[in-house]
């Protein structure tokens, strides 16, 4: 489940960074060459979240077509009913949070295009949700004076907003993932536990922390993006398990330094 949370956000930012690193030069022609190059590499596997199926220049609009993994607990209908979340997510992802994404944004503005993201479940392209970031919105984003840390925090906020579209979701017979929260010190996953089947008193906190954080797969684009944003915003990552009967809770967490070490260890 943890591998799925950053899915929609990751596609936007990862494609942007891959694009910006392609060595070309000069606005519209440069854009056309880049799109042809990126599209030739599709489908691009994005880990547990799905894949970028194609990238096209359609008139004056760059369009990303993204197939969500069938197991991803984000429903297309939920996205369609929350267009403001998709729009905020897209603008946050394109924003100039680092030199690569800034170069991508600058090229879009110079070419005078807009960007559209189309999401559908794998194998069902006829049912989709989409959002558009206009050329004017891209220009305004380019002129924003947010620092890298402020932009990272905005991206983290949107990641949480998108994740919550799919919650609550039952993970097994005794655990429900209720929400993802952005709190003062941590990004928090909040679970409810059926204590008739799993009393909180039977859970060893140290074992829980070890199992939880050792299972984080940093090779997955979504998870890696989440950890990088947590580190950039100086926030830890926490898991709060709440008993449905006792009202008690168990919290395990990793500090920003521990998350940074996890990322460094994967390189």
pLDDT tens for residues 2-50?
Answer: 333 344 445 444 454 444 444 444 688 888 988 898 899 999 887 767 8
The confidence score (pLDDT) of residue 26 equals 65
Does 6 share its domain with 118? Answer: yes
235 has a pLDDT exceeding 60: yes
Domain boundary among 165, 192, 209: 165
CA dist., res. 188 & res. 173, Å (int)? 22
DSSP label at residue 3: G
CA dist., res. 225 & res. 35, Å (int)? 23
CA dist., res. 178 & res. 169, Å (int)? 7
Check if the beta carbon of residue 77 is closer than 8 Å to that of residue 62. Answer: no
Domain boundary among 165, 183, 201: 165
Whichever domain contains 206, its CATH number is 3.30.300.250
Domain boundary among 116, 138, 165: 165
Looking at every residue in the chain, the average pLDDT score rounds to 83
244: tokens are 């449905």
Does 59 share its domain with 184? Answer: no
Does 201 share its domain with 219? Answer: yes
Question: Which residues form the domain of 193?
Answer: 167-265
Collapsing DSSP states into helix, strand and coil, what is residue 112?
A: coil
First to last CA, the chain: 23
Split at pLDDT 50, 70, 90, the class of 98 is low
For the chain, what is the domain count? 2
Greatest mean pLDDT among 13-17, 163-167, 198-202: 198-202
Does 135 share its domain with 189? Answer: no
């Amino acid at each position: 489940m943890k591998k799925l949370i950053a899915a929609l956000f990751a596609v936007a930012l990862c494609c942007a960074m891959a694009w910006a690193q392609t060595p070309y030069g000069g606005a519209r022609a440069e854009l056309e060459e880049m799109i042809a190059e990126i599209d030739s590499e599709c489908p691009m596997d994005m880990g547990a979240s799905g894949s970028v199926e194609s990238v096209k220049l359609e008139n004056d609009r760059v369009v990303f077509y993204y197939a969500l993994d069938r197991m991803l607990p984000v429903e297309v209908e939920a996205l369609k009913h929350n267009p403001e979340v998709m729009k905020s997510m897209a603008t946050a992802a394109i924003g100039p949070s680092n030199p690569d994404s800034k170069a991508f944004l600058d090229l879009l503005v110079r070419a005078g295009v807009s960007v559209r993201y189309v999401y559908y479940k794998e194998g069902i392209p006829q049912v989709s949700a989409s959002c558009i970031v206009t050329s004017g919105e891209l220009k305004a984003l380019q002129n924003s004076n947010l620092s890298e840390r402020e932009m990272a925090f905005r991206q983290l906020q949107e990641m949480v907003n998108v994740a919550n579209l799919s919650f609550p979701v039952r993970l097994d017979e005794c655990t429900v993932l209720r929400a993802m929260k952005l709190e003062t010190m941590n990004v928090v996953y909040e679970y409810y536990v059926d204590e008739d089947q799993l009393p909180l008193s039977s859970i060893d906190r140290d074992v829980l922390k070890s199992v939880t954080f050792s299972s984080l797969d940093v090779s997955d684009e979504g998870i890696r993006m989440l950890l990088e944003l947590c580190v950039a915003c100086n926030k830890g990552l926490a898991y709060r398990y709440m008993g449905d009967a006792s009202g008690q809770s168990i919290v395990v967490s990793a500090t920003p330094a521990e998350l940074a070490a996890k990322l460094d260890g994967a390189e």
